[in-house]
Structure 1
Amino acid sequence: MPLPRPLTCALLLTLIAGAIAPDATAAKKKSAKSKTSAVAAPAACTDFHAYANASWLKSNTLLPDVSSLSAMEQLGDHARQQQIDLLNAAMTAPQGNVQKLLGDFWASGLDEAAVERDGANPVAPLLGRINAIRKAGDVSAAIAALHQVGIPVVFNFGADVDLNDLNRHIGYFSQGGLGLPDPAYYTRSDADTRRLLGQYNGYVQKILVLTGTPAEKAAAEAQQVIDLETRIAQASRPLPDLRNPRTNYAPVAVDGLAKSYRKLQLAEFLKAQGVNDDVVSIANPQLFAQLDKLVGTLKPAQWKTYLRWRVGDAMAPYMARAWRDANFDFRGRVLAGQVAPPSRQQLVLDAINLAAGPMLGREYVARYLPAGTRSGAEDIAASVLHALDAAVTTDARLGDAARNEAKAKLARLKIEIGAPHRDLDYTIQPMGRGSFGSNMLIASTWHHREEMKRIGRGNADRRWDVLPQQPALAYDIAGNRLIVTAAVLQPPVFDAGSDRAAQYGSFGALVGRELSHAIDAKGRLVDAKAELRDWWTPSETSAWESLGSRIAAQYSAYPDPVAGSRVQGNLVREVALADQAGVELAWNAFNTAQPSPSKEARQAFFAGWAHLWPQQVTREVAAQRATSSVYAPGQWRTNGPLYNLAAFGDAYGCKAGAAMQAKADQRILLWPAAMPVVTPAKK
């Protein structure tokens, strides 16, 4: 419902979740030291993933209706339950204004009887505004008003990074306004597409009737909607063309919009959204010229029908059962292939995260992120960043200019843990518990208002593109910052009760793999001044490609026993390189923080890494991932990086040439000159 993000994020934000989760029945687990202090069994040198995760693999078998299970999925489940617990507490005994808002929102959504009694009341004011349209000027004003409440109609508009100045956001006008996910659905003539269009037509009719269309006119009005959307689709670009952020960026001066789009009134649109900036992006001016023409030439009655449909479609999941059923029958069953709708509790939680996610995130951080956990994570992240800086100093692949650029970039890199540094304005209309649909619109209006504040100079770090209650650990390329959400700082990513060695092996390695993106094949596209340019030479690019080819060959030799095939090394190579970088950097940082670590501490470090990746999948899921996923199976995400480290063999007594220990001339290391020589602590 609110604010789809422009596709510029595909280049500028690399949000790679490093999240995993504990066994739900063993949240209070023993420390990593107690699990790994015994003399290693030969299995550790054969398959460390199976050895270190034996307990998890034994206690987490797949149920008949579950196709995959992993530590990452468990952490997501755990974070969702924490949010539910928080909302239940806010509903019964709110602490402060934000909790009062959240508690009322939650209570109104859980009260299904009240939702049924509410009927179409939540959208009545919006429909009244639409039904009052008489002329073209009324159409453009109605479009702006619906965007204000978080219902994007006709086109999309959102804040994103200015590709010419990464320190600011600008507004992006982009294609949208369609009820089907692909513009091609409106123009293809094959049988499957025609069948889908017929089902879509039936859905549009159901929603129009619910918004007030007489049943005998529903078919004709649905065709009006599809006719208008077809005109929009014909001027829209194919989806593959939207994948290149540069082709979706075309800055234009705001002061020329009124003349260029007289009927659409884009200048007035910006004022209505509270945007006061001198430039916006319009990457498809032909589309907006067509929209401008349509506003001036189509009869107001057709626009009224279309806008009523868009309101009904957007709000249907949050309304009475007739609305929800119609929505799920098409969007759930037909488009998404879902068998059953989400539970009431899940539907309401998703709605709150969509419209009031930052509010929930604020309270989540206060409830679930202890100060000691935050400070411990900050210390480890800072030490890993220092290790990366030291590794760059000895990186033989980089020339002097690239090395200096990398070090300058790392010197400016920011680490943000828990929640964004800049908070939001939580001034909002009171919600109450009477109407879930109305509360959705209130929250969505607030969300849109705060999103629009991102537009302007100096606002690039205003907030994250992930919520604090969502497990994520990521490097933001545009902002040159490490983002660590509160939800990810839980076992086994960060177990406050475990050994420091295990924390470095899990959290530290994930930090290292994300920080490596600041100077890798993606990070090289943005320099220390946050300018888009490639600061590598051809020889440095060639050296990286050579390293990538070696690690791709290593992973291509690994079997995927569940899928019955081999890992596709070229598919997983970039993630494999990042994993290798992460373990190396965390190991270096750990040995700097704790010189001459004991054997038990060294084993705890490597066990911490392994505990991130246990998983169970069906053969069908494994086969699908084998040909499409950039992530290797959990077994090889554990074993691949460790195989290349002599320190792992030393910790577990693995001989060179064993399954878990490469011979010296076969090791693949990103920074061999920076790897510490470990002197075990004396007994």
Structure 2
Amino acid sequence: MTARPLAAALSVAMLAVLSMPAADAAPKKKAVAKTAKVTAPTACNDFYAFANSGWLTANPPTPGVGTVSALDQLRQRAHQQQIDLLNGAMSAPQGAVQKLLGDFWASGLDEAAVERDGANPIAPLLARINAIKRAKDIPPAIAALHQVGIPVAFNFSADVDLADTNRHVGYFTEGGIGLPDPAFYSRTDAETREVMDRYRAYVQKILALTGTPQAQVATEAQQVIDLETRIAQADRPLAALRDPRANYAAVPTSGLAKQYKRLQLGDFLKAQGVTDDQVSMPNPTLFATLDNYVAAISPEQWKTFLRWRVGDAMAPYLSKSWRDANFDFRGRVLGGQVTPAPRQESVLDAINLAAGPMLGREYVARYLPAASRTQAMQIATQVRDALSAMVDRDPRLGDAAKTEAKAKLAAVSIEVGAPRRDLDYTVQPMGRGSFGSNMLIASTWRHREEMRRIGRGNADRRWDVLPQQPALTYDVPQNRLIVTAAMLQAPVFDTTQPSAALYGAYGALVGHELVHAIDTRGRLIDSHGAARDWWTPAESTAWSSVLGRVASQANAMPYPQLTGVRVNGMLVGDVLLADQAGVEIAQAALLAAQPGAPKEVMQAFYTGWAHLWPEQLSVDEATARAASSAYPPGRWRTDLPLMNQPAFGTAFACKAGTPMQPKPDVQVRLWP
């Protein structure tokens, strides 16, 4: 089954653990036992430890656990909320959508029913494939599998039109074969050969489960691998797929039927419900190759390949023999997993994959109070306006860049909770008898709704993240801020805290993301959605200079938990710069909303920021992150941006030259 990649919201790092040396008691009479003096953290020497002392005490390091953080706990809470919602929908559904979800959930949890069901859910798909007799029967079978969410031979998905960001087009791209990297089929090194041997064994197991006699299973598995190898030879390398511009090539749909007559691409689009006038096809060589293969490769070999694709895609949702075969290769070999996920986890993952927007709709209704949504919109709007005002006094930007930046910020769409457009939840009833069948029903529904996004005026139909998954992100192509319902809870949006703390946590994260509308990312797309660089070389150099100063600050900081290791400023500088931008912008928004705020208000603001980042990491995890993570450790995500704020020193009466209040000539400011 397929789904678009989901946007990840936030990453976190780690914390230094304080320890007390053992007391040194002298044996002599009347001697006084000497105890190492421990200095408690203060707001002026380590605000991270000071503000998070309660959390750090309540969450000590745990042997065998690589990491725990406040944001991890938010994600775990959102995960449990989904389970609670599904359990409620299973026992007492409220409305038609909950009835669908409750039945889907119940069918997945009933392992005995899944075992009894065996391969029955895919029997109709296999019967259609087995009925293929001629070459012209192959393309309709491919189109039908795409309709149920099983890509075959290629991928076809909806995404933003890079030439017109107000619309979506269909993208014909690589995919639809069994291995994630086409290079697997051509490399000859020992490691790749071992993977291919394991892959061949996996293909044999799946084909046997779909009905291939044991005497023929090796031959048919080789037919699958031979056909996939041919397709892979026409695919582009993975490295070539990383640049969105290189993967966009608009072509009119009117010529597809004639140009790819044997592959029947015109009929394929009709089967998907697509009537748009253009699609993107950046690799026409692949589709010309497939067009030839429809006639050049025997229908029997195609049938074997199609049966394999159905079995491989549906194996996680069928009986144990299917699941075990799938996990042994995709879980152990490709994923490096030791044991399969618990049943409840795998069923929740399946529901999010096939019916995620349904679950998101109910999640928002249950867990997002209207008042929180309204307040989140208000703060985000104030932060956007504060950033626009800061652009006016930005010494790095010229008049033209300022005009463009302000126009872009004025056009930012702020979307909180869930996508603005709801979906059509007309779905075939699921029932509780067949988890695999429900998976196909839900996947068919989700594919249908994805295809409906294609066309003009449809760019805002969907997010790349689900409402029940914590995320706060800036969507560069569509110039919109996305805040999911799951993100609006502690520590990001803790309504039990003073409103200033909401600005310090949620507001600063909004600022962190919105600055991307006008920084080195946002400079490449203008306020009209056109791809162009609206910065001058001098403006670029000025921004890089600030980035360099922030990176230099980070370079001087010890990496918590590690001896003799410092933070790599060039690795984490971009995130730290956005963090500092977020704090400065949110602080300006707070002061605009509450002019002359007393020190208690500002203290709550800075404490809200600190409460985002407490964490405990093992030494191994810290070592790995210090070497490769673009995200700074939690201590420095808290302290470094605040060290650069004169207002922080005022709020906590920190003298110049203390760790949290360096002298003014050392501090870095983005805006005067």
- Identify whether the pair has TM-score above 0.5, normalized to the shorter chain: yes
AA paired with 1:67?
G
Match of 1:36 in 2: none
SS for the counterpart of 1:417 is: strand
Tell me if structure 2 keeps the 8 A contact 1:649–1:660. yes
Render the CA deviation track for 1:255-274: whole Å, top value 9, x for unaligned: 11112211111111111000
Match of 1:12 in 2: none
Change (3 A) 1:62 1:228: farther
Tell me if structure 2 keeps the 8 A contact 1:83–1:469. yes
Match of 2:660 in 1: 660
Tell me if structure 1 keeps the 8 A contact 2:41–2:49. no
User: How far apart are the structure 1 equivalents of 2:41 and 2:211?
Assistant: 72
AA paired with 2:626?
A
Alignment partner of 1:261 is 2:260: yes
Q: How does 1:667-678 map to 2 (within 5 A)?
A: 667-672=667-672
Tell me if structure 2 keeps the 8 A contact 1:3–1:157. no
SS for the counterpart of 2:2 is: coil
AA paired with 1:96?
G
Match of 2:342 in 1: 343
Change (3 A) 1:4 1:415: closer
User: How far apart are the structure 1 equivalents of 2:462 and 2:600?
Assistant: 41
Q: CA deviation at 1:18?
A: 3.9
Match of 2:320 in 1: 321
User: How far apart are the structure 1 equivalents of 2:616 and 2:313?
Assistant: 36
AA paired with 1:495?
D
Alignment partner of 1:464 is 2:463: yes
SS for the counterpart of 2:155 is: strand
Provide the TM-score with structure 1 as the length reference.
0.93
AA paired with 2:573?
R
AA paired with 1:492?
P
Q: CA deviation at 1:43?
A: 2.2
Q: CA deviation at 1:520?
A: 0.7
SS for the counterpart of 2:43 is: helix
Tell me if structure 2 keeps the 8 A contact 1:402–1:536. yes
Q: CA deviation at 1:667?
A: 1.4
Tell me whether 229-238 or 591-600 shows the greater mean CA deviation. Answer: 591-600
Change (3 A) 1:20 1:239: closer
Match of 1:599 in 2: 599
Tell me if structure 1 keeps the 8 A contact 2:316–2:326. yes
Q: CA deviation at 1:402?
A: 0.6
Match of 2:23 in 1: none
SS for the counterpart of 1:665 is: coil
Give the percent of matched residue pairs that are identical in Structure 1 and Structure 2.
Answer: 66
Tell me if structure 2 keeps the 8 A contact 1:109–1:115. yes
User: How far apart are the structure 2 equivalents of 1:550 and 1:65?
Assistant: 37
User: How far apart are the structure 1 equivalents of 2:294 and 2:579?
Assistant: 52
User: How far apart are the structure 2 equivalents of 1:592 and 1:19?
Assistant: 30
User: How far apart are the structure 2 equivalents of 1:67 and 1:216?
Assistant: 47
Provide the TM-score with structure 2 as the length reference.
0.94
Match of 1:364 in 2: 363
Tell me whether 114-123 or 243-252 shows the greater mean CA deviation. Answer: 243-252
Match of 2:33 in 1: none
Tell me if structure 2 keeps the 8 A contact 1:3–1:158. no
Tell me if structure 2 keeps the 8 A contact 1:19–1:75. no
Match of 2:81 in 1: 82
Q: How does 1:265-304 map to 2 (within 5 A)?
A: 265-304=264-303
AA paired with 2:584?
E
User: How far apart are the structure 2 equivalents of 1:421 and 1:242?
Assistant: 30
Task: Show structure 2 runs of 5+ residues with no match.
Answer: 14-38
Q: CA deviation at 1:19?
A: 7.8
User: How far apart are the structure 2 equivalents of 1:147 and 1:643?
Assistant: 54
Match of 1:17 in 2: 9
SS for the counterpart of 1:170 is: strand
User: How far apart are the structure 1 equivalents of 2:172 and 2:3?
Assistant: 11
Render the CA deviation track for 1:430-467: whole Å, top value 9, x for unaligned: 00000000000000000000000111001111111110
Tell me if structure 2 keeps the 8 A contact 1:19–1:471. no
Q: How does 1:141-540 map to 2 (within 5 A)?
A: 141-540=140-539
Match of 2:547 in 1: 548
Alignment partner of 1:43 is 2:42: yes
Aligned length: 646
Tell me if structure 2 keeps the 8 A contact 1:492–1:611. yes
Render the CA deviation track for 1:29-76: whole Å, top value 9, x for unaligned: xxxxxxxxxxx9762212111111112122213433321111121111
Match of 2:18 in 1: none
User: How far apart are the structure 1 equivalents of 2:95 and 2:666?
Assistant: 59
Tell me if structure 2 keeps the 8 A contact 1:2–1:447. no
User: How far apart are the structure 1 equivalents of 2:295 and 2:567?
Assistant: 56
Q: How does 1:51-66 map to 2 (within 5 A)?
A: 51-66=50-65
Tell me if structure 1 keeps the 8 A contact 2:70–2:615. yes
AA paired with 1:582?
G
The alignment yields a C-alpha RMSD, in angstroms, of: 1.5
User: How far apart are the structure 2 equivalents of 1:84 and 1:19?
Assistant: 23
Change (3 A) 1:75 1:622: same
User: How far apart are the structure 2 equivalents of 1:42 and 1:624?
Assistant: 27
Q: CA deviation at 1:20?
A: 8.2
User: How far apart are the structure 2 equivalents of 1:273 and 1:201?
Assistant: 32
Tell me if structure 1 keeps the 8 A contact 2:562–2:622. yes
Change (3 A) 1:20 1:362: farther
AA paired with 2:587?
W
Change (3 A) 1:19 1:381: farther
Alignment partner of 1:644 is 2:636: no
AA paired with 1:637?
R
AA paired with 2:636?
W
Change (3 A) 1:212 1:62: farther
SS for the counterpart of 2:158 is: strand
SS for the counterpart of 2:665 is: helix
Match of 1:134 in 2: 133
User: How far apart are the structure 2 equivalents of 1:560 and 1:64?
Assistant: 20
